Amino acid sequence: MEIINYSQEHQQFRQRLQDFLQKQVIPYVDQWEEEKIIPKSVWREMGQAGFLCMDVAPDYGGLGGDFLYSAIVAEELTRTWHSGLAASLHSDIVVPYINSYGSAETKKKYLPGCVAGDIVTAVAMTEPDAGSDLAGMQTAAVEEGDEVVIDGSKTFISNGINADLVVVAARDPAVENPYNAISLYVVETKTPGFSRGRHLEKMGMWSQDTAELFFSKCRIPVANRLGAKGQGFLMLMEKLQQERLVCAMGAVAVAERVQEWITDHCRKTAVNGKALSKSQATRFALVEIATDVKLGRTFVDKLIMDHREKQNIIVETSMAKYWTTEMLNRVVNRSLDLCGDLGMLEKCPIVRAWRDAKIMTIYAGTNEIMKNIAAKFMGF
């Protein structure tokens, strides 16, 4: 019995997305990987086709759909065999901050562009000396009348080069308790005082633009603060459940693609006149891979339904984020071994999947942080 029952509307959405990706994305992936960036025109094409910010209300141009649409996008993007088009980051991690905490004026100003793909978003939390430790954040935000002055730097920011709008976490230096000092601000990248640093060269996820961001006396309207002053840490905690679930969804979907490919490869590839899949060692490896993937899918599908019903699953999503990303790395490592000589060549899709998988244990909070969060809520 399937845990998730997709409606006819969901299935039609999936088919339209598959058609779109087949025509507008897959033929260009290798070029984008070489260029180390996704053209912004692709974001607009995604938005115009209705594949961004599906949960945003129709009043702002969105579909007003449920979380299952996000699950479909996360799954189907993995069929493109690249990680550069970070639509899930935009739609399900960054824009929800604006959608949930922005004023009516802020939502009216930015959400239609986010839905249409005219505005690409990023979230800026990580700092050179803070990493996953939000309490160690140093970027300062000082409110002066009807303006906020932001000074500091962020690093490892996904969508950092393409971003038109950044949700920035910054602290009031006058407040001693770091958990009461953080606020979230929406910063347009054309604002004076904002600048981008290096387009960071990474081991994997080559076409995903990752950058340093700098703020030097960057002045924005105080109206660009999301929610109440000093509530940023609570907002981040509330939304990180979905961020970690999105990461787990992606990890399981990639593992499924890898399993499909390596199983087909082992069936079709012969050594000494005998298919690889007929070797006992290979068969055992394929069964172990399939078991890992099946366990991950079952766990994540249950969490998708729980999250859709607005249950508190902080512990479970922390567990899922660390387990599924480590599972994915087990799967790609074992699959690369099964590729033999082919695993040395860029034309082998498992090579790219192997490179891209490692970072998933680090971003959205390291897997060690995930275990600490689960342990804290479990009373350990």
Here the CATH number for the domain that contains residue 340 is: 1.20.140.10
How many residues does the structure list for the chain? 380
Same domain, 272 and 222: no
Same domain, 241 and 366: yes
Same domain, 342 and 225: no
Q: Give the CA distances from residue 272 to residues 278, 279, 343, in Å, rounded to whole numbers and listed in that order.
A: 12, 11, 19
Q: Is the pLDDT of residue 256 over 70?
A: yes
Compute the distance between CA of residue 220 and CA of residue 141 in angstroms, rounded to an integer: 10
pLDDT of residue 132: 64
Residue 3 within a domain: no
- Residue 44, domain CATH: 1.10.540.10
Residue 190 within a domain: yes
Q: What is the mean pLDDT of residues 39-45?
A: 97
What helix, strand, coil percent values describe the chain, rounded to 5? 55, 15, 30
Same domain, 220 and 342: no
CB neighbour list of residue 74: distance below 8 Å, 6 or more residues apart: 88, 92, 246, 249, 250, 253
Number of domains composing the chain: 3
365 lies in which domain range? 234-377
**Tell me, what amino acid is at 242?**
Q
At 12, is the pLDDT very low, low, confident or very high (cuts 50, 70, 90)?
Answer: very high
Same domain, 308 and 218: no
Q: What one-character-per-residue DSSP string does 18-43 give?
A: HHHHHHHTGGGHHHHHHHTS--HHHH
Q: What is the mean pLDDT of residues 202-228?
A: 96
Dump pLDDT digits (tens) for 316-351.
Answer: 999 999 999 999 999 999 999 999 999 999 999 999
At 1, is the pLDDT very low, low, confident or very high (cuts 50, 70, 90)?
Answer: low
At 133, is the pLDDT very low, low, confident or very high (cuts 50, 70, 90)?
Answer: confident
> Please, what is the angle between helix 67-77 and helix 8-24, to 10°?
30
Residue 2 within a domain: no
* Mean pLDDT for all residues in the chain: 95
Residue 101 within a domain: yes
Q: Out of 126-140, 196-210, 224-238, 242-256, which region has the weakest mean confidence (pLDDT)?
A: 126-140
Going by C-alpha positions, the residue among 167, 108, 162, 110 that lies closest to residue 141 is 167
Q: Is the pLDDT of residue 130 over 80?
A: no
Q: Give the CA distances from residue 70 to residues 67, 98, 175, 190, 339, in Å, rounded to whole numbers and listed in that order.
A: 5, 17, 37, 29, 32
Same domain, 248 and 137: no
Same domain, 221 and 339: no
Dump pLDDT digits (tens) for 84-112.
Answer: 999 999 999 999 999 999 999 999 999 99
Same domain, 272 and 329: yes
pTM, two decimals, is 0.94
Residue 1 within a domain: no
Same domain, 239 and 367: yes
Of all residues in the chain, what percent carry a pLDDT higher than 70? 99
- Which of 243, 256, 346, 368 is labelled catalytic? 243
Tokens 């019903």: give the residue: 309
Active-site residue 176, yes or no?
no
Cβ atoms of residues 212 and 154 within 8 Å = yes
Domain boundary among 85, 119, 153: 119
- Residue 173, domain CATH: 2.40.110.10
Domain boundary among 229, 256, 275: 229
